Amino acid sequence: MNYKINTRCLYGNNTTSSKEHFGAISYPIYQTATFAHPSVGNSTGYDYTRAQNPTREQLEKILCSLEQGYDALAFSSGMAAITALMELFQPGDHIIAGNDLYGGTIRLFQSINMKNQISFDFIDTSKEDVEPYIRPQTKAIYIETPTNPMMNVTDIAKIATITKQHGILLIVDNTFLSPYFQNPLTLGADIVIHSGTKFIGGHNDTIAGFLVVNNAELSEQLHYITKTVGSGLAPFDCWLIIRGLKTLGIRMERQQENAFAIANWLLTHPRVKNVYYPGLPNHPGYEICKKQATGFGSMLTFQVDSPETALRILRSVKLIPFAESLGGVETLITYPMTQTHSDIPQDQREKTGITDTILRLSVGIEDVDDLIADLKQAFEE
């Protein structure tokens, strides 16, 4: 049966699992490293938790259902997921990547994958034509949409048409909108990435990552890689993410509502020079985001009038923590220059707009009047 998304956040496409586990409504945590074999040559379907575990499998089924994929794999972090993904490629391969990605992704590409002789072109996929960058060695295009932190929006279906023409993969990091608001596989992507730490988990209490794929070949390759490198998500963390997913829809709706209110308040503040939020009609990616997603999410970035103002806000917020990460129920404010993108060379950062006047907000579920009051006093402190 094709359940609607809020139902699938709880069960995936399987509502019979509690009957298989003594009626347990909360899916059991199979906190075991290994499983006994009934006899030689026979298996329960589970042999060793590094390869697979029932709690992890349940989480993967739910995530796969939400992204409408063929299979999903759960990893110990978002970066572990991307690291495993990059093992699909060989020395000499070439990848086209967005130039405004999470700083940890760029660090992995530039310090690890380039060392392993994979080459990259970093371009603005929201504006530039990707086709001239494709060459015989090109194996994939890797994008975030919206991007971290400048909120650029790339047309997924348009890029997918090009990747299919050239027989290369389209990889989309969907962390910012989550599967609740955006499903890149239905738009033509081949692989979707999530930092499960963020909106999927939603409570800032565990770290996780996901890859969701659209075919059996990719599934088989990535399961082999995951088993080999040992980066699968542990059972207890899987259970925490399963629990977090149950409220994904409720959280995303409330967080988006709050983000709209804060974005519009920031637009009126004399010390704010720019607000980057794809839900604002003046955002360059507004129409594309509206076309390919069912919402705009709760991530927004804003530019203030001076580095002194930025530092004063970070020093003066009382309710909103100055912290890395995003997507949890708590609103967080981040200074990308010294946090998420600190390892990116300054000229590279500034080329994409990440300067010492840029702040990023991950908007939570608090009462929005309290959030705005906290920002207001921080500006004025």
pLDDT in tens, 231-246: 999 999 999 999 999 9
Q: Which of 71, 173, 190, 237 is catalytic?
A: 173
For 244, the token pair is: 């977090």
Please tell me the distance from the alpha carbon of residue 302 to that of residue 304, in angstroms, as a whole number: 7
142, two tokens: 């890797």
Question: CA of 90: how far to CAs of 86, 96, 218, in Å?
Answer: 9, 15, 15
What does the alpha-carbon distance between residue 347 and residue 184 come to, in Å, rounded to a whole number? 31
d(CA 134, CA 341): 27
Share of the chain above pLDDT 90, in %: 92
Q: What is the pLDDT of residue 375?
A: 98
pLDDT of residue 379: 97
Average pLDDT over the chain, rounded to an integer: 96
Domain 248-380: give its CATH architecture: Alpha-Beta Complex (3.90)
pLDDT over 70 percentage in the chain: 98
What's the pLDDT at 235?
98
The answer on pLDDT for 18 being more than 80 is no
Helix, strand or coil, per DSSP, at residue 38: coil
Among the listed ranges 102-106, 190-194, 326-330, 335-339, which one has the minimum average pLDDT value? 335-339
Second CATH level (architecture) for the domain 5-245: 3-Layer(aba) Sandwich (3.40)
Q: Has residue 19 got a pLDDT over 90?
A: no
More confident residue, 30 or 344: 30
Please pick, among 8, 61, 198, 349, the residue that the annotation labels catalytic. Answer: 198
pLDDT at site 346: 81
Within 10 Å of residue 39's Cβ, how many Cβ atoms? 6
What integer is the mean pLDDT of 355-368?
Answer: 97
> Average pLDDT, stretch 173-196?
98
Task: Exactly one of 102, 142, 180, 276 is catalytic; name it.
Answer: 102
pLDDT digits (tens, 9 = 90+) for 57-74: 999 999 999 999 999 999
| Per-residue pLDDT at 1 exceeds 80 | no
Q: What is the DSSP string of 264-305?
A: HHHHT-TTEEEEE-TTSTTSTTHHHHHHH-S---SEEEEEES
**Per the structure block, which two tokens stand in for 284?**
């360059």
Residue ranges, comma separated, of all CATH 3.90.1150.10 domains in the chain are 248-380
Q: Is 27 a catalytic residue?
A: no
Report which of residues 2 and 250 the model is more confident about. Answer: 250
pTM of the model: 0.96
pLDDT score of 260? 98
What local confidence, expressed as pLDDT, does residue 21 receive? 86
- Does residue 75 surpass a pLDDT of 70? yes
**Strand, helix or coil for residue 298:** coil
Residue 198 annotated in active site: yes
Contacting residues for 48 by C-beta, under 8 A, at least 6 apart:
33, 34, 35
Residues of the chain with CATH 3.40.640.10: 5-245
Per-residue confidence (pLDDT) for residue 17, from 0 to 100? 66
Write the pLDDT tens digit of every residue in 99-139: 999 999 999 999 999 999 999 999 999 999 999 999 999 99
